C-alpha cells in the first residue's frame, strides 16, 4: 500500500499474514514515521519506544494507541474475560504450557542485554517460532466487531487489535 502523507512523502507498509513479530515491527515503523510528521505517540515499557501507536486517520487507514483503561465499555480495550483454558501456546508447532512458552523465549535471549542488537535478533527469531491461539468465549471476544481496532486498513478491512 502506498499513501501520500501531508508532506507528500510516500509510506509503504507490508504486513505478512503469518508473522506477529513482523506485523508489530511494521506498526512500530509506521508509528515512528507518523511521529516524525508531528503526531504524538503513546509510550510504555512493553515493546519499547514507538510500541503503542498514535491517534491517526486518513482515507487509507486509522491507528489508535493501545489502551489500558480496562473500562467495561471502552471501545479499544474492554477486558477479555475468557478463562485461562481458552489460551493455547505453541513452540515450533507443538502445544506447550504458558510456562514453557515463556521459558523458551527466556532461554533464547539468555545472557543478552535488552539493548544489545543481538538480543533483538534472538527475540525476533524466538517469536517467529512461538505462537498463541485463543478460543473466543467471552462477550468482548465473541463481539470483537464492537471494539475499535488499534490499526485498520480500510481498503482490505484488515484489522490489528
Mean per-residue pLDDT, 151-157: 87
| 60-113 pLDDT per residue, tens | 988 888 777 777 777 777 778 899 999 999 999 999 999 999 999 999 999 999
Domain ranges of the chain: 2-66+148-160, 84-134
Mean per-residue pLDDT, 148-154: 83
Please tell me whether the overall predicted TM-score, pTM, comes out greater than 0.95 for this model: no
| 109-144 pLDDT per residue, tens | 999 998 889 998 999 999 999 999 999 898 878 876
How crowded is the C-beta side of 39, counted as CA atoms within 13 Å? Answer: 24
- Local confidence band at 147 (pLDDT 50, 70, 90 cut-offs): confident
Among 43-47, 118-122, 153-157, which is the least confidently predicted range?
Answer: 43-47
Are the C-beta atoms of 31 and 50 separated by less than 8 Å? Answer: yes
**CA dist list (Å): 36 to 40, 83, 146:** 9, 41, 31
Give the pLDDT of residue 111: 94
Are the C-beta atoms of 150 and 66 separated by less than 8 Å? Answer: yes
Amino acid at each position: 500500500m502506498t499513501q501520500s502523507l501531508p508532506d507528500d512523502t510516500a509510506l509503504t507498509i507490508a504486513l505478512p499474514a503469518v508473522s506477529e513479530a513482523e506485523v508489530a515491527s511494521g506498526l512500530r515503523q509506521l508509528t515512528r514515521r507518523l511521529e516524525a510528521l508531528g503526531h504524538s505517540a503513546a509510550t510504555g515499557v512493553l515493546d519499547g519506544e514507538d510500541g503503542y501507536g498514535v491517534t491517526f486517520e486518513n482515507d487509507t487507514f486509522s491507528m489508535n494507541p493501545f489502551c489500558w483503561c480496562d473500562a467495561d465499555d471502552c471501545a479499544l480495550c474492554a477486558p477479555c474475560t475468557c478463562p485461562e483454558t481458552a489460551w493455547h501456546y505453541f513452540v515450533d508447532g507443538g502445544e506447550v504450557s504458558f510456562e514453557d512458552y515463556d521459558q523458551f523465549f527466556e532461554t533464547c535471549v539468555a545472557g543478552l542485554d535488552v539493548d544489545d542488537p543481538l538480543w533483538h535478533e534472538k527475540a525476533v527469531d524466538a517469536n517467529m517460532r512461538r505462537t498463541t491461539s485463543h478460543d473466543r468465549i467471552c462477550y468482548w471476544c465473541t463481539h470483537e466487531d464492537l471494539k475499535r481496532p488499534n490499526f485498520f486498513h480500510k481498503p482490505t478491512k484488515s484489522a490489528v487489535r
